[in-house]
Amino acid sequence: MTEATAAVSVEDLTSPGTAVGTVAYMSPEQARGKDLDGRTDLFSFGTVLYEMATGTLPFRGETSAVIFEAILGKAPTPPLRINPSLPPKLEEIINKALEKDRDLRYQSAAEMRADLKRLRRDTGSGHVAAGSGSVAVAAASESGKVASAQVSAVSAPVPVEKGLPFGAIAVVGLVVIAAVAFAGYRMLHRHHALNPQNMEITKLTDSGKASLVAISPDGQYVMYVKREGERQSLWMRNVPTRSDVQVLAPEVVSFAGLTFSPDGNYIYFVRSDKSTELYNYLYVMPVLGGTPRQLVRDIDTPVSFSPDGKQFAFMRGVPNATAVQLRIASADGTGDRLLAQLPAIPVPPAMLGPSWSPDGKKIALSILEAGKQIHWVLDIVQVADGSEKPLYTATEFLGRPVWLSEGDSLLVSMGLGKQNRSQIWEISYPEGERRRFTNDLSNYGGRLDLTRDRNTLVGLDQKQSSHIWIAPGGKSEAATQITSGETLDRGVYPGPGNKLLMRSEDSDLVSINADGSQRITLIPEVRNYWAHSVCGDRYLLFDSSNGSGSQLMRSDLDGSNLVKLADKVGESQCSPDGKWAAYRAATQSADKIYRIQVEGGTPTELAAAPGGGDTLISPDGNFIAYSFQEGSPVPEVKLAVIPAAGGAPVHVVPMPGGATGFRWSPDGKAFQYVLTRNGAGNVWEQQISGGDPRQITHFTSGLIFDFSWSRDGKQLLLSRGDRSSDVVMISNFH
């Protein structure tokens, strides 16, 4: 004993009344430091089962105190809500294991083992009884090595309390084997031979600056865009030699798509020009460099070639009609024709590109549908007649799909809800059933690409940091960071009293003190994406996303008494006197600006605002400013200022390319926005009366994701951080 503990400090040794174990896996009685028994271990094992089934922990938080609070007083998100493919009975087993009252929990491992065995029997193709540990082990072995990959993802073992009988430990182990066998059985009986167990994931870049990627048909080359501040360049990676060659030099442009030609000799890329930020062109050039040749004007996504290589498909947004077009052209860019027009929100994050099926008869694409409801749809369009049929519908983000070689399923990146990251899923065709393909901590973004044989996949692993800063008087040299940790903090706005409101990584509305202390999630069931503000000293105003789209909501300052004010909303803001609000809402013709009383009632339409963007009320409450796109075929972003009661614009101000996050200045005489120059984000200001813009902050590094001013106009609130993205290659999954 002395030798075994010689290197252990006194602080790390256990003592009576102390909570022992990995915090996230503790039971309520363990968190309280109470006496423990075998039911404690069953709660911890329930946590492991939850993590195996959903890919996330049931009780999470950035500090031990927050996790303890969740374990003691909060119910975890139902597993089926995170992973709808789970059997309902498995959710029941998990919920019973996670009962906070141990008298209502499983009373023995044998009882839990029986339920798991019964579940495996009832979901199997044959009713095979698992009457002994050897049978369970055999079943686990027969199910292949797939299941072990799921088990290896669990970050902590089942804690076993000191003094627990060996027989109970063996029973818990047998339950683990039974769970593995069940998971393995589910993976084994897929409709074709994907084998994630042997999957290899290789990181191809480490600069953190990759933003788009495509792989050659033979898998020998990977083309990617490198983003350095406001400049972007095109690079080629030879996969076997891991060598890189710059194909196009850095310019102040924006790439929107990369595709290799079917023979692998040419690269087709979609890019803006220096003066056309919102208008893209399709170019073709030899893979190792040369003079790009323009093929198509007005294109918003990468192209996808037909199996014979004679045609390609692409997407084009139509802001004035709130629609997305799927178009087809010959390989040389001629014969451009409309195949289908779909009611969808035509913004770049919702237009990631189509995918032509291996049999040449179908084209798959993901859209953010804007019909009676706003939701993500994986659509299948028939090439013969342009008819469209949804294959899969989701409330979470859907990326660009890619067909597997058999044509009976697709791979697509899909958002994981409040985790604000995406993983890759397989969607069967024509059933539309989803199956998990990746199960790790990466964020695979939206665009994927496959080799000709569909055996190698490339994507991006994206990461971001973002925290809240306060700059007195807008002086960057005096700015201080008030939040930290792995959680992303963004969407900062002055809250009630001296508090701040912000949107966290998981789309929660969070209240904090001005020094970053007393972090409180106000309304756990709300998912906020666009905006939030305070209405006087009485209400909060915010959007909340659900299965039917984004709704404008009002609540008391503590998050209670939720009231819906409007549907299909985007940006919003409450008036300075707290009596009314302005918001942007999607309609089938175009976005429109509305005004509504905070107490409720019928909204008043004020203006049409095509193209999406910001909606802002002036500090004195007399005017509303909103961004919109104007001009064709090359649109320009402008800000219009109208009287708060409605009417014709009194000012229309063009905005510089690359500007984001428009705000009124505290004195109401100018607009402020974020520009990234030389790799650093800063706040700039443009007087409404005209003149040259001036720089407000002078940060030399980092990005600004959001900003606002305190009510007295003396403190600049900033969400600052950085983002990185690298190319990853996934292979050996068949």
Under 8 Å between Cβ of 446 and 469: no
* The pLDDT of residue 587: 77
- Convert 333-370 to b/e letters by CB count within 10 Å (16 or more is b): beebeebbbbbbbbeeebbbbbbbbeeeebbbbbbbbb
Amino acid letter, residue 110: A
* The pLDDT of residue 472: 95
* The pLDDT of residue 237: 94
* Other C-beta atoms lying within 10 Å of the C-beta of residue 292: 19
CA 159 to each of CA 24, 41, 156: distance values in angstroms, whole numbers, following the listed order: 11, 6, 8
pLDDT block averages, 10 residues each, the chain of length 734: 36 41 81 82 92 88 74 86 86 93 90 90 52 32 33 36 43 51 44 71 93 95 92 94 92 94 96 80 91 94 97 91 92 96 86 96 92 83 96 91 92 82 93 92 91 93 92 94 86 89 83 91 84 91 79 92 91 94 83 93 92 88 91 79 94 85 93 91 92 93 94 94 94 87
pLDDT of 514-572, one tens digit each? 999 999 888 888 888 889 999 988 999 999 886 567 889 999 998 899 999 998 888 99
* The pLDDT of residue 396: 82
Show Cβ contacts of residue 227 under 8 Å, excluding neighbours closer than 6 positions.
Answer: 209, 210, 211, 725
Q: What is the dihedral of CA 591, 593, 596, 602, to 10 degrees?
A: -50
- 580-585 and 592-597: which strand pairing? antiparallel
Phi and psi dihedrals of 310, rounded to 5? -90, -20
CA 559 to each of CA 60, 500, 516, 547: distance values in angstroms, whole numbers, following the listed order: 21, 14, 19, 21
pTM of the model: 0.67
